[in-house]
Structures are given as C-alpha cells and as structure tokens.
Chain A
Amino acid sequence: MSDTPQDVIIGLEVHIQLANLKTKLFCSCSSDYRSAEPNTHVCPICLGLPGSLPVINKKSIEFATRLALALNCKINPKFWFFRKNYFYVDLPKGYQISQYNKAGGKAFADGGKVTIKINSSKKEILLNRIHLEEDPARLVHKGSIRTSPYTLVDYNRSGITLIETVTEPVLSSPAEAREFLNQLKLIVQYTGISDLSLEGTLRVDANISIKGHPRAEVKNITSFKEVESALIYEITRQKHEIKKGKEIMQETRHWDGRVTIPLRTKEFEKDYRYFPEQDLVPIVIKKEFIDEIKDYLPEMPNERVLRLQKQYMLSEFDAENLILDKYIADFYENGVNKDPTFGPDEYKLYCNWLMNNIVGWLNENNKKIDETKLKPSHIIDLISNIKKGNITTKIAKTLIGDMMKGNSISKMIKDKGKKRISEETIIEEYSREVIDENPRIIEDCRKNPKAIEALIGRVMGKTKGQADPKITRKIMIILLRNMRIID
C-alpha cells in the first residue's frame, strides 16, 4: 500500500466481553456460555420476559473501574444506563441496556490514553470514553449466514457484560490500529477482567476516512487479525473511489472477512431512540471505592517494563518481550526470584531460555504456559546443569519437549545415564563443530584415513560419550567425503 499515513483517519470502537466475570451484567446467570449447552444459562431477566427487571452486577462496576484506571480515564462519579432501541432477533427486550454520553447521559468514564510504539517511536492514542453494556444473544447458522436454512438463537450469551472502549479518531494507519489493539489486549490481560484469547470476546467497529472526505463505519470485525485486513481493504477502497473522482458516502459497511459491503447510508441510519433506563437507578461511584481498587490494581505493562529493566538489569528489548504475556512475565519473576544466587548473568540466561526456547515451544504447540507442567524451577535446574557441565546447551535444547511434560533436566540426566544420542542432526552438528575446530586432524585424514578416529573421539568428548559411535562414524565419513578429504 502506498498511503501516506497522515491522510488516513481511523477511530475504533472496541467491544470486549468481560469473560472473567462469573455472572451476567443484570442477572445472576453464569456467564460461561462457551462450555454450556445452548439456552441453559438463562432466566426471566436475560430472556427479557415480561415483568422482569435488571439488577446491576456490582462486580462489573469493579471490573470497569479497573480498566478505566488502567487506561487513565476519568471515572464519572454518577452515571445512568440508557436504552438503545432496535428490533432484531438477537435482542430479547427490543432494546439493549447500554450507556450514552449525550441527552444528559454519561459514559462510565471519559478520556484516557494508550501508549503504543510504532517504528520505535512512541505515540499516545487518546480515548474518548469507555462504557458498559449487555451483549445480545448469539445467533447460530448452519454453514454460512446466507445459505443457512434457519437461524438458531442461544440466549446464554444474552446479558453478558461488554465494555466498549472508544478511541478518538487519531489512528493513522492499520499498523497503528493493530498496535493499539495489542496494547489494549495486554492491558485487559493485566487487569484480569477478561481473556481475549477466547473466541468471541472481541468485536471491533472502525470509523475510517481519508482526510477531507466523509467517513465510513465498518462493523463486525471479530478478531485481532481481521482488524488490519479490514482497515487495509477499506482504505484502499476509499482511495480508489476518490481517485476515480467519486464521492465517498457516509455509510455503514459490514466486514465479511474478505471485503466490506455497504449496509446502509446516512439517510437510513438507525435511530436508536436512546433514553434513560429507569428500571435501574443512577449509579454513584465513590472516591473511596476507586481508591480501594487502585490499591489492588496490578502493575500495568508499561510500568513493568521499567521495573524489569531496573530490577533484573534486562535490556529494554528483553523486558518488552517478557511483558507481552502477563503469565510469561509472572513465570519469569517467579523463577528468577527462587534462586538467591542468581545475578545479572542468570537473569539474562533465564530470560533467553524462557523467551527463545519455551515460548517458541508454546507457540509451535499452540499452548499456554499454564497448560503445561513446566515449573519455574525447571529452568533454574537447566541453567545450573549447563553451568556444571553436566549437559550441553545443544542437548538441553533437545529436551525442552520433555521438560514441558514436567521432567527436570537433572532427572533426565540421571535416568538416561549414558544413553546414546542417535539423532543424526545433532550428531551432525557436533561433527561439523569438530571439523571446524581441528583443521590439523583434517589434513592428517587426507594422508591417513585412520585419523578419522581422532575426530570421532572428539565428538564423543563433546557429547560426554553419549553420541552413538556407529552413527557418528557414518556421519563423519559423509561429511569428509563431501569435503573431498577422503574418498
């Protein structure tokens, strides 16, 4: 793409399900709909039955307060819920209980910011507001929405707490939007209010315009990955239209995973007839309540980066990498603090093992760290065995998989005893090393093929006698032949 970033204006509305809340926003039904039979976590309130009334889940206010504090928003001391009226099959009451910052209404919190790093310079993304609202029911189709012969409705999702974060129109590229969402995801993880790796926890609407032209709103972006593609598509489309001399229409478009399709233009914009929800009383947030939550608020990612650098003498790069997953960073700190003899070298070593080998393994196997049996002490044990010369780094790397199953390196060394290494790639690696390190013996081999025994001996030495001599011999011969040292 050839856009000059200043031309593009993007604002995001990010809806996040508070998946860590046990119950729904206005009733006591369980909010764990992912593992439940459809329509089992329902009651008169979340089904919107006649006569039922909402009651605010106090915990949702606490969660919203955590996020507002983490995003540096200004929490309003008093707010109301509003009704957003529209008819749809997923909306049992015909209105969604939400918030509104016009017509006398107030958002849960105003302002706030998220700092992102883009091309190694920092940028502050200003927020407009955050507010609470209820999730509509989930619609289930057979196959695609267009071809499905029916629509099924699962009210287990109806009434689950959503928090909406609205940015100012200050993002200037899809890459910035992606970076913003990554940061937001991280902050959400750190506040402990949701788990955005769960499917359906995130929905994004994006307002996109090219400077000097009307904006289009793209709805239904349902994952982090999709946001960037949807934005790139929409920007390209708008630039193309402008180039052709066409007017951009102010409209709402729908992202179908591939392209954006027009939904409705401004004249047909829905009128949601927002007005106060009087089944709920205004909610007052006291300063003491906010202070208490502030006291228990975990350290935020940007603060942690600074502390990790200071406390463990890590580079900015290492610290920034570590905090990308709160649980990895927690694992790290847990580990390095277990061994009082650790100093800067071990801090660095531990970080390298964790970030290069363990995280690599987790990504390859699509697992989270707490889904494995790896304990922080396993890495301490690994580092100490290498230090003592009980095992080489190379071999240790081959044992990561076993370590993730809860086996310590010490135990493996003990169990395996002199068990042979028969993996050809490893033996080959050692053999190449030996060849590189012993040019004189190589020369000898040209005259006396028996000199090969000396090379094999050195491989055995490097592997502490564990390399299979037969395989080692075979590989050494192949290598030397390839080098035309022997015939």
Chain B
Amino acid sequence: MEIYNYMGYELIEKIRSKEITIQEVIQQTYERIEETEELLHSFVYLSKERALKRAKNLDAQLKNGKTTGKVLGLPIGVKDLICIKDSPTTCGSKILEEYRPPYNATVIDYLIEREGAISVGRTNMDEFAMGSSTENSSYGPTYNPWDLERVPGGSSGGSSSCVASGQTPISLGSDTGGSIRCPAAYCGIVGIKPTYGRVSRYGLVSYANSLDQIGPLGRCVYDVALILEIIAGYDPLDSTTVDIGVDEYTKELNRSIEKKTLGIPKEFFGEGLQKDVKEKVKKSINKLEGLGANVVDLSFPHLEYTIPTYYLIAMSEASSNLERYDGLRYGKMSDDLKGDVYEVFSRTRGERFGSEVRRRIILGTYTLSAGYYDMFYIKALKVRTLIKKDFQNAFEQCDAIVCPTMPTTAFKIGELVDDPLQMYLMDVLTCPVNLAGLPGLSIPCDYDNKGLPIGFQIIGNYFDEKTILNIGYQLEQELNIYRKIPPLTIRGN
C-alpha cells in the first residue's frame, strides 16, 4: 500500500518498528506531492532538500536509539504564516516575498525540534489569513481535491488540501474565524481550533490577535488529538496562553459518550443552510444519540450579530497588526523610491498587499478612527461579551454543542469573488466560536448530492478539547468514512 493511505499515527508506528525508514517516508511523500501538486497547488514552497537531510539525521539517531520523538519522522505541511527559522514564511503575500524569519514559532520548536516531525513545505493560504477560500493568495488559488473546480475553503486551504489528498498526513493551520474548520469541512478532513490561550501564538503571524489560534489538521481524530497534545500548553513567550495542564487527549478518545448532553442551537440550523448539509448533520446527531448521548435544544439570541461583530473586531486588529509591513526591515519595498518616507511606505503597501487585505486594512483603520471608535469597535466588544454569555449559558445545559461547520459545501472558484459580503456570511457558524474563545472541532460526516464532503462541528467549553475530541472520535468510528481518498478530478456539476 502507498504510504499516503496511512494515518499519521500508523506511519509513526511503521517508522518506530523500522518497517520503513524516515528517508523512505519523506522520499515517498515528495513523490506523492510531485504527482498531485500540479492539480492542487497546496504548497507555496517545498523544502525537499532540507527535509531529506533532516530525515537522514533522524534515521541515524533512530538507529542509535538516541531519539524518542513522539512523532518522529512524520511529514507535515506548515501554513505559510507560522515561522520556521530560515524557511520562507510569506503569509501568502507579496509583501513578505523572500522573507525568512530568524526564529521558530513555539509550535515548531515543540513539534519539529522536540518531537521529530519534518516540515515538507509551506502550505498556501489566503493572504494574511484573510479569506474563506484560499483565492486571496498572492501565489494563486489552491484546488479542492474532491472537485478541482472548487475552493478548498480557507484560509488554511493548502493545509487542508495537502492532508485530504494524502500529500502529508498532518498539517498545521490557524483559525481566526473558521480558517481551520472551514477548509477541513470543505476537504473532508478533521481540524480543530483550540481554546484561545491553549496553544502558543508565538511565531504565528497575527491577523486578528484576539481571535487567532494555531491548530492541527489530519485525516482522523486520533491524529489531530496526538498533535494537539504536543503543541498545547503554557508558553512564557505568549502572555495569552494559560498555565493549566494539558490533557492526554489520545487516551480519552475511547471513553463512552453515554449520558453526555449535546446542545443543538436552533439558530445554527436557520436560513441559508444548504438542505442536505442540514439533513446529514441531523443524521449524525441521531447517531450520537444512538451512542447514548442526550440532546437539548438551545437558543443563541445574539447569533445574528456575529458577522458584523467578528469583522469589526478582526479588521480593526488587522489594520494595526499589519502596520509593520512597510518594506523597510524585511520583505520587499516598492521599486519606486520617489518621495518622502510616507509616500514610499504607502506605495509599497499599495503595490504589495492584495485587494482583500487592503480592503480590511482600510475598513479597520476607519473603525478605529477618532469619532468612530465608540460606535464600532467598543460596540463590537460589547456584543462579543453577549455572544460569550450565550455560550456560557449553553454550557450550563450541555457538555458540547453540535452543528454544521459551514452552511454549504465547497463553492466554485470565482463564484463569490465579486461578492465579499456573501463570502463573509460563510463564516457565520464558525466565527462565534472564535469570538467566545472556545474550542471547535470539525469532522467529515457525510457527502452532499454532488459528492462533496460535509463538516460536522463540535464546540466545547473552555479548555475542554478532551470532550469534543472524544465525541468526534466516537462519531468518526461510527461513520467510518475517514479513510476515503478524494478523486482529484473535476466533477463538472
């Protein structure tokens, strides 16, 4: 069997038992990438030489019994906005072209340096994570492995398509308003956005820093649980991480979910939901009931304000977070250096940021400006508190909330490009989770009538990743569709 059929944990087992060498794994990984990359464009940069060299080193260490990494030799894709020392990290943007950070993100230190994973390349994304389709990448779009005419979702689209297509078993993404869960849903894989403060953001290039979290994507819940175990935890370099213990998620997966109470918010099944998405998600809820879970109806009175609240906050923060890109210290400056420093800064930013990034910077700058600040930003913060309260009330009645991840299945490339508002509405079921800072898991639960995967979302209480992974794992085993490999073709409907 080709290695791309294996789950991450199976591959690790084979390496550990010396059934296969790390160099063979990496070699075959690149073979799979070379075969499929032209169709998918999951990566903006491949680091083959570096990965092979590292594989050779790790093989030698393994032979001498000198290494104990939990994910030794595991090939991973890393979203292009997580810093890897001396490796291009461009955030899908022309403004960071050729930028190589001089330091590792904390998650890279944990996953690669400490536990032995190998980065095979940087995965494509919407520029600075601004988008739900990966169409906003300066390096061209990524294609959905289930239908090459469709978007993989975003912004972690490359991280999703590479896992779904078996290019790598695992990838790292980031989620600000659904950027892990949306592409996981569209590509039929598993992705988790951890609780805000669970995983260090040190080395994650900020889009909206009060919402961003790094999380893993994989083809099964076990893989995602395994990676989260490694990357989660307090980091003295990130003041927003919380110093509480990390559960052994992989050991909790087999627990029975009997007597667990699942909350179903009626607003999450409202208008705008694709018919078969609604049906299939309901069907999965029935399966969970079959496993012994109870169900309770919930109400989220403030859900309708989610999208404006989310975008006001995200754009405001983004306008400030992206001020550092002036081309002066790193990245590229405009070729035309006429005028004073402000003119050169403006020209550089005008030329090198894409249109969606410019749109969000301008809107964010506007909402933070004197006279508008109270009207927009402060008000958004107040609504954010109300949305948080809705969730807090909900978790008094249930252990987890279940709902669709996305209102629809993957749309066609270009379909929503001229309608940003419609595109923003796609985040309605994912971004409340970021606003509240809660953990959310998306797993594939079925396919729509076009054969496109449907994502099932499980939202947990603060730092209760263990429960949502447990529920997700139980459902995954029940459904047993997770080994399905997408066709990498155009469906034409």
CA distance A55 to B440 in the complex (A): 27
Instruction: Indicate if the CB atoms of B237 and A278 lie closer than 8 Å.
Output: no
Complex: how many Å from CA A54 to CA B201? 11
Chain B stretch 285-326: residues in CB contact (< 8 A) with chain A: 316-317, 319-320, 322-326
Is B83 a contact of A51 with CB atoms below 8 Å?
yes
Within 8 Å of chain B (Cβ to Cβ): is A271? yes
Residues of A within 8 A of B202 (CB): 51-53
Interface residue stretch chosen among B42-50, B101-109, B390-398: B101-109
Point out the residues of chain A lying under 8 angstroms from B82, CB to CB. 51
Across the interface, do B102 and A49 meet the contact criterion of CB distance under 8 Å? yes
Chain B interface extent, by class: 35 or more
Contact call B206/A51, Cβ cutoff below 8 A: yes
Whether the Cβ atoms of A89 and B341 lie closer than 8 Å is: yes
Alpha-carbon gap, A412 to B378, bound state (A) = 75
B370:A275 contact, CB within 8 angstroms:
no
Q: Complex: how many Å from CA A53 to CA B238?
A: 6
Which residues of chain A are within 8 angstroms of B316 by Cβ–Cβ distance? Answer: 275
Q: How far is the CA of A44 from the CA of B240 in the complex (A)?
A: 18
Please, how many residues of chain A have a CB less than 8 angstroms from a CB on the other chain? 29
Is A85 at the interface (CB under 8 A from chain B)? yes
User: Among the listed stretches A90-98, A211-219, A392-400, which one makes contact with chain B, having 4 or more residues with CB under 8 Å of it?
Assistant: A90-98
Assess whether B36 is interfacial by the CB under 8 Å rule: no
State whether A49 and B330 are in contact (beta carbons under 8 Å apart), knowing that A103-B378, A275-B368 are contacts in the complex. Answer: yes
In the complex, whether A50 has a CB less than 8 A from a CB of chain B is yes
Cross-chain contact A92 with B329 (CB below 8 angstroms): yes
Q: Does A271 lie within 8 Å of B237, measured CB to CB?
A: no
- Closest residue of chain B to A278, judged by CB? B210
A55–B239 Cα distance when bound, in Å, is: 6
Query: Does B473 belong to the interface (CB within 8 Å)?
Result: no
Q: Decide: A271 near B370, CB < 8 A? Known: A48-B324, A51-B204, A93-B323.
A: yes
Residues of A within 8 A of B83 (CB): 50-51
Q: Which of A287-302 contact B (CB under 8 A)?
A: none
CB-based contact B320/A55 at 8 Å: no
Flag whether A247 is at the interface (Cβ < 8 A): no
Residue of B nearest to A279 (CB): B209
How far, in angstroms, from A328 to B368 measured CA to CA in the complex?
51
| 0/1 interface trace, chain B 362-380, chain A, CB 8 Å (1 if under) | 0001001110011001100
Determine how close the nearest CB of chain B comes to the CB of A268; give it in whole angstroms.
Answer: 13
The answer to whether B209 touches A49 (Cβ under 8 A) is no
Q: Which of B102, B209, B320, B378 has the most CB of A within 10 A?
A: B320
The yes or no answer to B328 lying at the interface (CB within 8 A) is yes
Interface residues of B in 73-102 (CB under 8 A from A): 81-83, 89, 91, 96, 99, 101-102
Residues on A with C-beta less than 8 A from B370 are: 271, 273
Chain B contact residues, majority secondary structure = loop
Q: Tell me if A281 is interfacial: C-beta within 8 Å of chain B.
A: yes
| B69 interface contact, C-beta 8 A | no
Known contacts A44-B101, A49-B103, A53-B239; is A103 also within 8 Å of B323 by CB? no
Residue ID in chain B nearest A45 by CB atoms: B237
- Which B residues are CB-close (under 8 A) to A53? 201-202, 237-240
What is the CA–CA distance of A56 and B239 in the complex, to the nearest angstrom? 8
Residues of chain B with a CB closer than 8 A to A279's CB: 206, 209, 239-240
Q: Which of chain A's residues 77-120 have a Cβ closer than 8 Å to chain B?
A: 83, 85, 87-89, 92-95, 103-104
Q: Is the CB of B324 within 8 A of A55?
A: no
**Alpha-carbon separation in the docked complex, A93 to B378 (Å):** 23
Which residues of chain A are near B89, meaning CB under 8 Å? 50-51
Whether the pair A49, B240 counts as a contact (CB closer than 8 A) is no
B96 to chain A, nearest CB (A): 7
Q: Is the CB of B205 closer than 8 A to any CB of chain A?
A: yes
Secondary structure of the A side of the interface?
Answer: loop
Is A460 an interface residue when CB atoms closer than 8 A count as contact? Answer: no
Residue of A nearest to B323 (CB): A94
**Once the chains bind, are A92 and B324 in contact (CB under 8 Å)?**
yes
Residues of B within 8 A of A95 (CB): 320, 323
A275–B373 CB distance below 8 A:
yes
Any chain B CB within 8 A of the CB of A477?
Answer: no
- Known: A51-B105, A51-B206. Is A281-B368 also a contact (CB below 8 A)? no
Kindly supply a per-residue 1/0 record for chain B positions 9-26, scoring 1 wherever the CB is within 8 Å of any chain A CB and 0 otherwise. Answer: 000000000000000000
CB distance from A47 to the nearest CB of B (A): 7
B206 to nearest A CB, angstroms? 7
Residues of A within 8 A of B373 (CB): 103, 273, 275
A50 CB contact (under 8 Å) in B239, B240, B324, B374 = B324
Name the contact of B323 in the complex, choosing from A52, A55, A85 (C-beta under 8 A): A85
In the complex, the answer to whether B378 meets A50 with C-beta atoms within 8 Å is no
Given contacts A49-B330, A94-B324, whether A281 and B369 have CB atoms under 8 Å apart is: no
Residues 239-273 of chain B, each 1 if its beta carbon lies under 8 Å from chain A, else 0: 11000000000000000000000000000000000
- Once bound together, how far apart are the Cα atoms of A424 and B345, in whole Å? 70
CA separation between A89 and B324, bound complex, in Å? 10
Within 258-312 of A, Cβ neighbours of B (below 8 Å) are at: 271, 273, 275, 278-281
Instruction: Give the shortest distance, in Å, between B99 (CB) and chain A (any CB).
Output: 8
- Residues of the B chain whose Cβ atoms lie less than 8 Å from the Cβ of A48: 324, 329
Which of A83, A103, A275 has the largest number of chain B CB atoms within 10 A? A275
Query: Which B residues touch A94, using CB under 8 A?
Result: 320, 322-326
Q: A85–B368 Cα gap in the complex (Å)?
A: 10
B350 at the interface (CB under 8 A from A): no
Whether, in the assembled complex, B236 has its beta carbon less than 8 Å from a beta carbon of chain A, the answer is yes
Q: Are B329's CB and A278's CB within 8 A?
A: no
Q: Which residue of A lies closest to B330 (CB)?
A: A49
Complex Cα distance A52/B341, Å?
Answer: 25
- Taking a contact as CB atoms closer than 8 A, the residue among A51, A87, A278 that contacts B317 in the complex is A278
In the complex, what distance in Å separates the CA atom of A103 from the CA atom of B378? 8
A136 to B82, CA, bound (A): 26
Select one of B101, B203, B326, B378 contacting A104, CB under 8 A. B378
Taking A44-B101, A49-B103 as known contacts, 16 extra A-B pairs with beta carbons closer than 8 A to each other, sorted by chain A number, are A50-B330, A51-B81, A51-B101, A51-B203, A51-B204, A51-B205, A52-B103, A52-B202, A53-B201, A53-B238, A85-B323, A94-B320, A94-B322, A95-B320, A273-B368, A275-B373
> Which 5 A/B pairs are nearest by Cβ-Cβ distance?
A94-B323, A273-B368, A278-B210, A50-B205, A51-B203
15 A-B residue pairs with Cβ-Cβ distance under 8 Å, sorted by A, are A50-B205, A50-B206, A50-B330, A51-B89, A51-B101, A52-B103, A52-B203, A87-B345, A94-B325, A95-B323, A103-B378, A271-B369, A271-B370, A278-B210, A279-B239
Q: Chain A interface (Cβ within 8 Å of chain B)?
A: 44, 47-56, 83, 85, 87-89, 92-95, 103-104, 271, 273, 275, 278-281
